[in-house]
Amino acid sequence: MRKLNFLFSFLFTLCILSSHSFAGNAHKIRVLVEDSPITDFHINQRVNLHLMSSPELTKRLRAKLKSKSTQTRWRAYIQEARPTSKEEVVKLQKRFVKRLQNEARRGLASGLKKKALEELINERLQISVAKRQNIIISDTVLDGQITRIAQRNNKKDKPAVARKKFYATLAARGVGSSTFRERIRASLAWQQLVRRKFGRDVSFSDRDVERKLGLNDEQLQNRKTQLRLVQITLAIASQKDQSQVVKQYVEADAIRKRFSGCSNMKSLVAPYKNATFVNMGRKTLDQLPSPINIILGDMKAGQITPPQPTPKGLEMYAVCERKLVAIDDTKRRKTLGEMRQKAFQLRAKRYMSDLRQDAHIEYRD
């Protein structure tokens, strides 16, 4: 019994690691999308790509391996072949595994072909519309995206090596590198197109995010003031040199008068040799030292604090943004990102439906 369990464990491992591509009439055109052909080859390639990560295929293989009928077939297969060595048993195991896997793949292929065809039609339209909007995904950008995908399991490999290994894995599963590249190219182009077209429509307020998170009234009442700050420092070489100190106060006052927002900080401090600035990011008032937190407590976005003497020189804080938050910023950004992603997906789906209605799509038998 242990030997049988070992054999079936070995069989299952080989099932997952090995695959065969589906053959077909590669040149037969099934659909024309705006004069761009989709052939049996394109469809079968996409089916193979889906089978690489299909949970249903794994589920069917598990069921086959555990079934009594498979165990009966295996015994009959071994008895008929009558292997005389361990090497022959291994060869028979591989053949049996291929047979089981092909059975499972054939059972899924018919359903996946319809899904693959719909995806290919959408991608042809995505590329076509993106080109009309001058959205072209370069090979450099495409290679970068594929490298990030390839390095998910092995970040130590150099980009070129990672891509080469990834393409080899695809080839072993019956998927050409060009098939995968064109899928990613269409995806990137479509993302850019959708964000360009609907970017202004997809906007959410802080209150929208708080509602999504289900914050109650008590949590909202206890919100903290969060500021996005830029620190400006005017260095003073010697605190004892009163003329130098006075000069820096004059310069600080000039900076405050010229300040009109945080987008022009570099040009704001450029005329002053001893002036520097640092983006502090977002801080709540309780994260800032006294007395600056008290001073900032009454300031609005777009204002700058009076100069405060420190051992380094004079320091001022520009308030770039001010808001009330009831949760940490990381969670807020994550939730906002998910809300935006869902909104873009909804608009993209409607947009694709409109494109398909207006496009010339010719189905062939």
pLDDT tens profile 286-311: 888 888 888 998 889 999 999 999 88
pLDDT band at 122 (very low <50, low <70, confident <90, very high): very high
pLDDT digits (tens, 9 = 90+) for 25-72: 667 999 999 889 999 999 999 999 988 887 777 787 778 778 888 888
Cut 0.85: pTM above it: no
| Structural domain ending residue among the three candidates 83, 114, 145 | 114
pLDDT averaged over the chain?
85
Domain holding 275: CATH number? Answer: 3.10.50.40
> In this structure, what token pair is assigned to residue 93?
């195991």
pLDDT digits (tens, 9 = 90+) for 330-356: 787 899 999 999 999 999 999 999 999
331 domain residue, yes or no: no
The pLDDT of residue 223: 66
5 domain residue, yes or no: yes
Please report, for residues 6, 21, 338, the alpha-carbon distance to residue 101 in angstroms, rounded to integers and kept in the order given. Answer: 18, 11, 38
Question: CB–CB of 324/210 below 8 Å?
Answer: no
What range defines the domain where residue 241 resides?
224-325
The pLDDT of residue 328: 65
Q: Express the helix, strand and coil content of the chain in percent, nearest 5 each.
A: 60, 15, 25
Judge whether residue 148 has pLDDT over 60.
Answer: yes
151 domain residue, yes or no: no
The pLDDT of residue 326: 64
Q: Residue 267, exposed/middle/buried by CB under 10 A (0-12, 13-18, 19+)?
A: exposed
73, 70, 46, 60: which is closest to 106 by C-alpha? Answer: 60
| Structural domain ending residue among the three candidates 80, 114, 148 | 114
Q: What angle do CA 88, 89, 93 make, to 5 degrees?
A: 120
212 domain residue, yes or no: no
138 domain residue, yes or no: no
330 domain residue, yes or no: no
Question: CB–CB of 58/8 below 8 Å?
Answer: no
| Structural domain ending residue among the three candidates 97, 114, 131 | 114
52 domain residue, yes or no: yes
| Residue with more model confidence, 38 or 95 | 38
175 domain residue, yes or no: no
Cα dihedral sign, 92-97-103-106? negative
pLDDT band at 231 (very low <50, low <70, confident <90, very high): very high
pLDDT band at 171 (very low <50, low <70, confident <90, very high): very high
In the chain, the number of structural domains is 2
